[in-house]
């Protein structure tokens, strides 16, 4: 349309002047101006806008990125659009591959197609299965992702795949510092030994001692078998420790970090494997990160975290829509499905006694005999020890507790065990002084709100602290801060820093037996 006026002008000039050369020159000039104008317009680029985070809409009549409708020509020729469409098409293909493979594997709970000591299926990378062996590619793992990125879902997927893929049963220890919401269902698996959360304040001290004791007991067992690694042992099971929200776990207790670092450093040969999740690397010591060699990043927004995970990768190459696996010198972008159901839940526990030892510790009731005063829990050695009367011969004993803490029936128990022994129930300070002046060994119970003179306290070689009246008295007695609770079982206390459960005297046991029998008859 631009050339038509030029053509008409050339014809008019030719008819008027008779000079066809002048007419041709006029037409060529107009044509040159038109071409120059077109080229100038073509060189004018649209503003370099960022459409990478905008949704793509495709219909038979139009294509749009966000709220911008693209012209019908040049959809795939402009670089700023073609890259977006290429990424969109790649994502659609990847999602289709994941859905197809997920349907094939979900009935088997995502069992790994490969064999190994601890094999698992993690997802789809470039249209092929992404599989690992934690014993070979780990031995420990770390999943880093922002809130809502799916890191807990990936942890459950990996665990589900491990549980159905391992050739031999393993043991699960679950640490969930999101109130237990992420891993509580896994605690219903028969291989799970315990679940501890940030809400279990009174259990945390014992748990970390017990987990540390697991490493020591495995070292002793391997030494007794004359081997240096679990791969040479035929009796020892591998253990998988899952830690959801690692920085919060580390900050929760002074024993948490050294115990986890010990697992990361010595776990390979002992068969104790750790997989942890975190929103970022902040709050995780470098020494611990170094040993978590199998890593997954999902939606990492901190460039520093990504560079720490993969030093050779530029932060600009990250994509929030996919997960990144890093192991050794290898990396792979992959997609994974959301797991709908975990395998083999609510079946009978494989090791009921181990579950009780890990979770509950001391029994609520201790059988009475003429020798046993109670049972002591030694979690760092994963064992219980009888508190026998023999260790008390020739030494004094003080039992301190609040009302209804069990100190009265403890006094009855002492009188039954040693009828000839001087046993005092809540004496005054003067009565205590007179008792010690008689040159006898003194056994007595005192309420926690009575402050004994230091000179008298030092005369007791053995002191058992039952539940105290309040938190301040608990701390004043030198008891662990995290162990305070108002609902402590009667007879439960601490002896030289260790938890103890005292036995009940015969009369109380007899009454309890009659009450239980009556309840059975009523039912």
pLDDT: is 146 or 518 the higher one?
146
pLDDT: is 151 or 77 the higher one?
151
pLDDT at residue 199 greater than cutoff 50: yes
Query: What does the CA dihedral 108, 110, 115, 120 come to, rounded to 10 degrees?
Result: -150
Structure tokens at 512: 């309890």
Selecting from 1.10.10.10, 3.30.1330.20, 1.10.150.650, 3.40.50.300, what CATH number does the domain 109-354 have?
3.40.50.300
Q: What is the pLDDT of residue 512?
A: 43
pLDDT at residue 388 greater than cutoff 80: yes
Q: Does the fold of domain 362-522 match that of domain 109-354?
A: yes
Q: Per the CATH hierarchy, to which homologous superfamily does domain 362-522 belong?
A: P-loop containing nucleotide triphosphate hydrolases (3.40.50.300)
Per-residue confidence band for 250, with pLDDT thresholds at 50, 70 and 90:
very high
pLDDT: is 494 or 370 the higher one?
494
Q: What is the pLDDT of residue 513?
A: 40
pTM of full prediction above 0.85: no
Q: What is the pLDDT of residue 516?
A: 42
Give dist(CA 426, CA 435) in Å, integer.
13
Query: In this prediction, what percent of the chain has a pLDDT beyond 90?
Result: 40
pLDDT tens for 38-65 read 666 655 555 555 555 566 666 555 666 6
DSSP string for residues in 183-197: TTGGGGSTTEEEEEE
Query: What does the CA dihedral 86, 318, 332, 154 come to, rounded to 10 degrees?
Result: -110
Length of the chain: 523
pLDDT at residue 381 greater than cutoff 70: yes
The residue ranges of every structural domain in the chain are 1-44, 109-354, 362-522
pLDDT at residue 222 greater than cutoff 90: yes
- Provide mean pLDDT across the span 430-453: 89
Reduce the DSSP state of residue 390 to 3 states and report it. helix
Which of the 8 DSSP states describes residue 391? G
The mean-pLDDT minimum among 183-197, 226-240, 322-336 falls in: 322-336
Give dist(CA 294, CA 139) in Å, integer.
7
The mean-pLDDT minimum among 139-143, 173-177, 404-408 falls in: 404-408
Per-residue confidence band for 511, with pLDDT thresholds at 50, 70 and 90:
very low
Number of C-beta neighbours around residue 17 at 10 A: 11
Cβ–Cβ under 8 Å, residues 492 and 406: yes
Q: What is the pLDDT of residue 146?
A: 84
Per-residue confidence band for 522, with pLDDT thresholds at 50, 70 and 90:
very low
pLDDT at residue 85 greater than cutoff 90: no
Q: What is the pLDDT of residue 523?
A: 34
Per-chain mean pLDDT for the chain: 82
The mean-pLDDT minimum among 42-51, 237-246, 355-364, 477-486 falls in: 42-51
pLDDT: is 143 or 320 the higher one?
143
Q: What is the pLDDT of residue 84?
A: 60
Highest mean pLDDT among 16-25, 217-226, 355-364, 475-484: 217-226
pLDDT tens for 425-434 read 989 989 998 9
pLDDT tens for 256-267 read 999 999 999 999
> If we measure between CA atoms, which residue out of 503, 500, 501, 466 comes closest to residue 485?
466
Query: What does the CA dihedral 297, 277, 155, 145 come to, rounded to 10 degrees?
Result: -30
> If we measure between CA atoms, which residue out of 311, 263, 299, 308 comes closest to residue 281?
308
Give dist(CA 41, CA 28) in Å, integer.
20
Q: What is the pLDDT of residue 191?
A: 96
pLDDT at residue 316 greater than cutoff 60: no
Q: What is the pLDDT of residue 509?
A: 46
Number of C-beta neighbours around residue 368 at 10 A: 19
Q: What is the pLDDT of residue 12?
A: 65
Q: What is the pLDDT of residue 399?
A: 94
pLDDT at residue 313 greater than cutoff 70: no
pLDDT at residue 349 greater than cutoff 60: yes
> If we measure between CA atoms, which residue out of 474, 500, 498 comes closest to residue 485?
474
- In 315-421, where do the E strands start and end? 323-327, 330-334, 372-378, 383-388, 397-401
Cβ–Cβ under 8 Å, residues 506 and 368: yes
Which of the 8 DSSP states describes residue 452? -
- Provide mean pLDDT across the span 122-144: 91
Bridge partners of 335, per DSSP, are 124
Per-residue confidence band for 188, with pLDDT thresholds at 50, 70 and 90:
very high
């Amino acid at each position: 349309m631009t050339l038509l006026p030029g053509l008409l002008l050339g014809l008019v000039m030719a008819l008027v002047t008779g000079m066809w050369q002048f007419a041709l020159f006029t037409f060529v000039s107009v044509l040159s101006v038109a071409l120059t104008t077109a080229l100038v317009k073509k060189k004018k680029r649209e503003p370099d806008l960022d459409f990478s985070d905008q949704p793509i809409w495709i219909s038979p009549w139009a294509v749009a990125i966000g709220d911008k409708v693209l012209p019908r020509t040049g959809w795939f020729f402009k670089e700023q659009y073609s890259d977006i469409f290429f990424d969109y098409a790649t994502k659609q293909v990847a999602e289709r591959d994941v859905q197809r493979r997920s349907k094939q594997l979900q009935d088997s709970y995502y069992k790994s197609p490969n064999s190994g000591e601890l094999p698992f299926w993690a997802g789809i990378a470039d249209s092929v299965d992404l599989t690992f062996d934690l014993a070979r590619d780990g031995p420990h793992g770390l999943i880093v992702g922002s809130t809502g990125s799916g890191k807990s879902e990936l942890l459950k997927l990996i665990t589900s795949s491990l549980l159905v893929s391992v050739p031999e049963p393993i043991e699960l220890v679950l640490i969930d510092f999101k109130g237990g919401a992420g891993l509580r269902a896994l605690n219903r698996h028969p291989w799970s030994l315990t679940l501890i959360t940030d809400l279990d304040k009174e259990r945390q001290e014992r748990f970390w001692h017990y987990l540390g004791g697991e490493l020591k007991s495995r070292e002793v067992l391997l030494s007794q078998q004359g081997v240096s690694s679990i791969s040479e042992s035929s009796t020892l099971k591998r253990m998988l420790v899952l830690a959801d929200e690692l920085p919060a776990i580390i900050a929760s207790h002074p024993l948490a970090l050294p115990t986890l670092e010990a697992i990361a450093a010595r776990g390979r040969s002992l068969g104790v494997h750790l997989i942890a999740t975190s929103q970022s690397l902040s709050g995780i010591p470098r020494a611990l990160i170094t040993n978590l060699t199998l890593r997954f990043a999902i939606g990492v927004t901190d460039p520093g975290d990504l560079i720490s995970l993969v030093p050779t990768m530029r932060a600009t190459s990250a994509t929030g829509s996919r997960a990144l696996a890093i192991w050794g010198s290898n990396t792979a972008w992959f997609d994974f499905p959301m797991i709908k159901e975990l395998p083999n839940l609510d079946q009978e526990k494989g090791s009921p006694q181990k579950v009780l030892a890990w979770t509950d510790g001391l029994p609520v009731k201790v059988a009475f005999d003429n020798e046993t005063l109670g049972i002591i829990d030694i979690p760092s050695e994963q064992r219980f020890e009888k508190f026998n009367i023999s260790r008390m011969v020739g030494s004094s004993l003080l039992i301190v507790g609040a009302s209804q803490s069990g100190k009265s029936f403890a006094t009855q128990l002492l009188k039954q065990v040693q009828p000839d022994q001087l046993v005092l129930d809540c004496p005054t300070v003067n009565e205590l002084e007179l008792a010690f002046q008689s040159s006898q060994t003194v056994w007595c119970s005192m309420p926690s709100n009575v402050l004994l003179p230091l000179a008298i306290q030092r005369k007791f070689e053995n002191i058992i602290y039952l539940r105290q009246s309040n938190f301040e008295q608990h701390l004043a007695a030198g008891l662990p801060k995290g162990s305070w609770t108002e609902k402590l079982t009667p007879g439960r206390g601490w002896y030289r820093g260790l938890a103890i459960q005292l036995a009940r005297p015969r009369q109380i046991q007899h009454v309890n037996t009659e009450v239980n029998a009556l309840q059975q008859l009523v039912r």
